[in-house]
């Protein structure tokens, strides 16, 4: 993507780029440095553009050791190359056949041939154009080069060009271009840097590509916070709620992205209505999501001091400036915070979070904003583990991507994809520079690129700003910061704004040991940093679940463009004459046709391989389904046996209880029997004693002094 630059920016940036690429020392060392960093094709064109920019048009004679035959081949190759009207390393390499290469002798001769040849074909290109193309190619190959340039670049630029060394603002056409504070750090402290590659809109900030900068903010900044909600509506960023020192906030602030001025929104509460007869209570919250919808800002879920049982949807009307609670239908999800809320068409897809009891969730719910009706889905496949403070994005209006997040014990860096049409979870293989585990990060999408900023793992903050190409699932690093800066915080917000028609990323707040209320801006270069490497390598099979979701078949032309990216790097010169464009030789046309045929054959071969692999996967799937069916039947049989055993066990338990009861009864009867036996024995003994006393009554009576009476005579 072309940048809107001032005319004085290119020399400054060119010499920085040249020093970074390896130019600036001796010719031999420069060649080695460039060759070690870039492919042969890229090193060659960088060399040619550097010579054209610093020396001018090539007037070096052809090497004298060449034979007339080789000089003829040189002229023939040069004429066909010049007829193309472009700087094309691919055509250059293919216009030299094996005989040319073999006849040159040593590798050093071959390098000299390439360098001289490519430089000569630039013709009378002006120095400024060569500088522009040099910087453009370097940024395509290494978009993060500027962040890795050392402080020595400044001295190189001072020697090689005469620029404003006093650091005064650049003035062009009567406009003053202020310099910026670039976010960089050394030993944890912020440093100031200067850059002239600027885009200015009114009093807006100066923004460099793929670097975080701090714009000149005006107005009263909001209270420092994290876990707040953020959204952009018509060049204004709204910040609502959040957490500061354990206190939930309820204020609403707005930042004008054109003037970079903060202001506080004096919101009012909507009076009670027929639909909501009870007074509306807009509680302070944190961990919620702020989504723009029509002329409203919707605040979904979040932690509150007195949580409700289910998720509430609060709406701020941008026209009337009033808060209200929207009435929903269906079964609302349990209240939570740290969830992800993604707008897909006219629906909100809500995943995960943590409820008021600190229980982690991984459930999935959908709210239709047209009817305000809740619905929950049990998607097939293996869902992400319960988590909160993760990031979510939607690709092609069909695929929901979930990345990272944390549980009570650990943080994650896994990636999960939900097909919203098939309602099926999958976990594709990630490629490239996979980010470290993190939670509390923020993400936004720009085209098919998903930018992730901040987050942490409970030990340190994540310093890298990373981007995921959602079509290829390849990660790359955009830039990095050092130290405890707001960009390496948890709970920060990230939104997409616009300056001069170009997208910008705006971050705010966060917590990294202290609460922040800083604003930082990054202008992405709108291309994947690993684009050339992706195109050279085959796309992994695990990416097929996401790549080309809405267009599974591609035409020959698009496949040719993809196949040639990384092989053909053709920079069309802006000042090419139309006559040169019309006079393309037959040799070039035949080469292109042959290349197209070769690419077509390769694509057909790849398609056949993919079909064969698809058949094999279908067979494996059928076998897996058969095994699954058998296992299910076996499971059902085991379940039946288990139920029978459980019933038998229950009967045995009943019998044991009855026997225990009988045993207790027998023990009671035994005790009663023993008592009766003792009573019987006592009774018999008493009877025996009575009989004995009766038999010896005279003796006993005489001894007692009461002799027995004599019977009276009748």
Does 243 share its domain with 123? no
The predicted pLDDT at position 546 comes to: 54
**pLDDT tens for each residue of 217-270:** 999 999 999 999 999 999 999 999 999 998 999 999 999 999 999 999 998 887
pLDDT of residue 71 exceeding 90: no
Averaged pLDDT for residues 303-312? 94
pLDDT at 485: 85
Cα(462)–Cα(482) distance, integer angstroms:
9
Q: How far apart are CA 128 and CA 49, in angstroms?
A: 10
Q: What is the mean pLDDT of residues 207-224?
A: 91
Asked whether residue 169 is domain-assigned, the answer is no
Using the predicted structure, report yes or no on whether residue 568 has a pLDDT greater than 70: no
The answer to whether residue 352 is domain-embedded is yes
Of all residues in the chain, the percent with pLDDT exceeding 70 is: 66
| Same domain as 123, residue 228 | no
Say whether both 244 and 125 belong to one domain.
no
Predicted local distance difference test score (pLDDT) of residue 102: 36
The answer on 310 and 227 residing in a single domain is yes
- Using the 3D structure, point to which of 472, 500, 523 is the last residue of a domain: 523
Q: Residue 72 pLDDT more than 80?
A: no
Range picked from 12-16, 427-431, 498-502 for highest mean pLDDT: 427-431
Percent of the chain with pLDDT over 90: 42
pLDDT in tens, 139-180: 777 766 766 664 333 333 333 333 333 333 333 333 333 333
430-434: average pLDDT: 96
What DSSP element (H or E) covers 559?
A: helix 556-564
Higher-pLDDT residue of 42, 423: 423
Final residue of a structural domain among 523, 540, 575: 523
The last residue of one of the domains, among 488, 523, 558, is 523
Residue 475: the pLDDT is: 97
Total count of domains within the chain: 3
Asked if 191 and 185 count as a contact pair (C-beta separation under 8 A), the reply is: yes
How far apart (Å, rounded) are the C-alpha atoms in residues 52 and 469? 35
More confident residue, 85 or 693: 693
Q: Which residues does residue 426 pair with via DSSP β-bridges, in sequence order?
A: 417
How large is the average pLDDT for residues 443-456?
96
Q: What was the pLDDT predicted at 62?
A: 56
Q: Could you tell me if residue 588 is inside a domain?
A: no
Q: What is the dihedral of CA 633, 635, 639, 641, to 10 degrees?
A: 80
Q: Mapping DSSP to helix (H, G, I), strand (E, B) and coil, where does residue 88 land?
A: strand
Residue 111 has pLDDT above 60, yes or no: no
Give the residue-averaged pLDDT of 537-552.
42
Q: Are 313 and 330 in contact (CB under 8 A)?
A: no
**Phi, psi torsion values for 643, nearest 5 degrees:** -65, -40
Instruction: Looking at the structure, tell me whether residues 252 and 130 fall in a common domain.
Output: no
Q: 400 forms bridges with which residues in the sheet?
A: 394, 418
- Answer yes or no: is 451 within a domain: yes
Same domain as 454, residue 349: yes
Collapse the DSSP code of 365 into the 3-class scheme (helix H, G, I; strand E, B; otherwise coil) and give the result. Answer: strand
Instruction: Write the DSSP symbol of residue 408.
Output: S
Using alpha carbons, list the distances in angstroms from residue 586 to 70, 82, 87, 89. 21, 13, 18, 18
Residue 456 in domain: yes
User: Strand 322-326 vs strand 268-269: parallel, antiparallel, or unpaired?
Assistant: parallel
Q: Which of 28-37, 231-240, 430-439 has the lowest mean pLDDT?
A: 28-37
At 413, list the tokens.
């860096």
Backbone angles phi, psi at 131, to 5 degrees: -65, -45
With 50 as the cut, is the pLDDT of residue 302 above it? yes
Name which of 257-266, 417-426, 544-553, 675-684 the model is least confident about: 544-553
Residues 495, 629 within the same domain:
no
pLDDT exceeds 70 at position 193: no
Instruction: Provide the pLDDT for residue 34.
Output: 63
- Distance in angstroms (rounded) separating the CA atoms of residues 242 and 238: 12
Per-residue model confidence (pLDDT) at position 132? 79
Report yes or no on 164 lying in a domain: no
Per-residue pLDDT band at 601 (split at 50, 70, 90): confident
Mention every residue, 6+ apart, whose C-beta is less than 8 A from residue 75.
none
SS3 700: helix
Band (pLDDT 50/70/90 cuts) for residue 207 is low
- Higher pLDDT, residue 125 or 140: 125
Predicted pLDDT of residue 593: 85
Mean pLDDT across the stretch 347-357?
96
Q: What's the full length of the chain, in residues? A: 714
Residue 360, domain member (yes or no):
yes
- Judge if 490 and 636 occupy the same domain: no
pLDDT of residue 117: 60
Which carries the bigger pLDDT value, residue 341 or residue 687? Answer: 341
Structural domain includes residue 32: yes
Q: Got the DSSP string for 34-60?
A: HHHHS-HHHHHHHHHHHHHHHT-S--P
User: Does 396 lie in the same domain as 515?
Assistant: yes
Q: Is the confidence at residue 408, as pLDDT, over 70?
A: yes
Return the H-helix or E-strand segment holding 634: helix 586-695
CATH of the domain at 352: 2.120.10.80
Whether residue 253 is found in the same domain as residue 133: no
357, 248: one domain: yes
> CATH no. for residue 129?
1.20.80
Q: Is the pLDDT of residue 419 over 80?
A: yes
Measured CA to CA in angstroms, residue 465 lies from 346, 455, 525, 533 at distances of 30, 10, 13, 20
361: domain range? 213-271+280-523
> What phi-psi label fits residue 228: left (phi over 0), alpha (psi between -120 and 50 degrees) or beta?
beta
Summary mean pLDDT of the chain: 75
More confident residue, 177 or 700: 700
- 504 and 631 share one domain: no
The three-class DSSP label of residue 229 is strand
pLDDT value at 474 more than 60 = yes
SS3 189: strand
Q: Return the minimum-mean-pLDDT range out of 427-431, 603-607, 673-677.
A: 603-607
């Amino acid at each position: 993507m072309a940048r809107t630059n001032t005319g004085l920016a290119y020399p400054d940036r060119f010499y920085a780029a040249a020093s970074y690429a390896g130019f600036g020392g001796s010719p031999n060392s420069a060649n080695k440095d460039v060759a070690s960093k870039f492919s042969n094709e890229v090193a060659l064109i960088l060399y040619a553009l550097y010579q054209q920019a610093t020396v001018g048009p090539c007037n070096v004679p052809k090497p004298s050791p060449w034979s007339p035959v080789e000089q003829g081949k040189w002229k023939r190759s040069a004429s066909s190359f010049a007829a193309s009207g472009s700087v094309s390393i691919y055509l250059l390499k293919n216009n030299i056949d094996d005989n040319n290469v073999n006849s040159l002798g040593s590798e050093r001769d071959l390098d000299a041939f390439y360098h001289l040849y490519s430089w000569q074909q630039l013709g009378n290109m002006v120095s400024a154009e060569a500088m522009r193309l040099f910087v453009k190619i370097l940024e395509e190959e290494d978009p993060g080069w500027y962040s890795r340039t050392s402080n020595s670049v400044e001295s190189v630029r001072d020697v090689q060009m005469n620029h404003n060394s006093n650091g005064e603002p650049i003035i062009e056409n009567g406009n003053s271009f202020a310099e910026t504070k670039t976010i960089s750090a050394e030993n944890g402290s912020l440093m100031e840097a200067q850059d002239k590659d600027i885009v200015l809109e009114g009093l807006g900030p100066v923004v460099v590509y793929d670097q975080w900068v701090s714009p000149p903010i005006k107005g009263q900044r909001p209270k420092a916070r994290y876990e707040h909600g953020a959204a952009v509506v018509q060049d204004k960023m709204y910040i609502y709620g959040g957490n500061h020192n354990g206190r939930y906030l309820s204020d609403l602030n707005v930042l004008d992205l054109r003037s970079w001025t903060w202001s506080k929104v004096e919101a009012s509460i909507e009076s009670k209505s027929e639909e909501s007869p009870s007074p509306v209570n807009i509680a302070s919250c944190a961990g919620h999501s702020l989504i723009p919808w029509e002329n409203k800002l919707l605040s979904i879920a979040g932690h509150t001091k007195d949580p409700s049982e289910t998720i509430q949807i609060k709406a701020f009307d941008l026209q009337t400036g009033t808060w209200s609670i929207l009435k929903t239908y269906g079964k609302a999800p349990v209240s939570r915070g740290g969830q992800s809320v993604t707008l897909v068409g006219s629906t909100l897809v809500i995943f995960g979070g943590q409820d008021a009891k600190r229980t982690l969730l991984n459930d999935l719910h959908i709210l239709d904003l047209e009817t305000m009706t809740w619905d929950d889905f049990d998607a097939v496949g293996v869902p992400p583990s319960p988590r909160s403070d993760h990031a979510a994005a939607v690709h092609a209006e069909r695929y929901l991507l979930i990345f990272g997040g944390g549980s009570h014990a650990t943080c994650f860096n896994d990636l999960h994809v939900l097909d919203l049409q098939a309602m099926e979870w999958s976990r594709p293989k990630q490629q490239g520079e996979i980010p470290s585990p993190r939670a509390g990060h923020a993400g936004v999408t720009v085209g098919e690129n998903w930018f992730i900023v901040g987050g942490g793992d409970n030990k340190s903050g994540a310093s890298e700003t990373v981007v995921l190409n959602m079509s290829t699932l390849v990660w790359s690093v955009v830039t990095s910061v050092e130290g405890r800066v707001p960009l390496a915080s948890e709970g920060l917000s990230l939104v997409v704004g616009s300056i001069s028609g170009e997208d910008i990323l705006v971050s705010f707040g966060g917590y990294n040991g202290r609460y922040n209320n800083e604003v930082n801006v990054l202008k992405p270069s709108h291309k994947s940093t690993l684009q050339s490497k992706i195109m050279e390598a085959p796309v992994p099979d695990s990416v097929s679940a996401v790549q080309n979701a809405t267009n599974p078949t591609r035409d020959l032309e698009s496949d040719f463009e993809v196949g040639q990216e990384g092989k053909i790097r053709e920079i069309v010169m802006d000042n090419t004459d139309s006559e040169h464009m019309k006079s393309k030789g037959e040799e070039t046309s035949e080469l292109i046709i042959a290349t197209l045929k070769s690419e077509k054959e390769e694509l057909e071969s790849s398609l056949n391989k993919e079909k064969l692999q698809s058949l094999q996967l279908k067979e494996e799937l059928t076998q897996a389904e058969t095994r699954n069916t058998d296992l299910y039947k076996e499971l059902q049989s085991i379940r039946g046996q288990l139920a029978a055993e459980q019933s038998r066990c229950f009967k045995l338990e009943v019998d044991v209880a009855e026997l225990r009861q009988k045993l207790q009864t027998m023990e009671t009867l035994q005790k009663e029997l023993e008592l009766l036996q003792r009573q019987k024995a006592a009774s018999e003994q008493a009877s025996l004693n009575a009989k004995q006393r009766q038999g010896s009554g005279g003796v006993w009576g005489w001894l007692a002094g009461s002799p027995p009476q004599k019977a009276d005579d009748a």
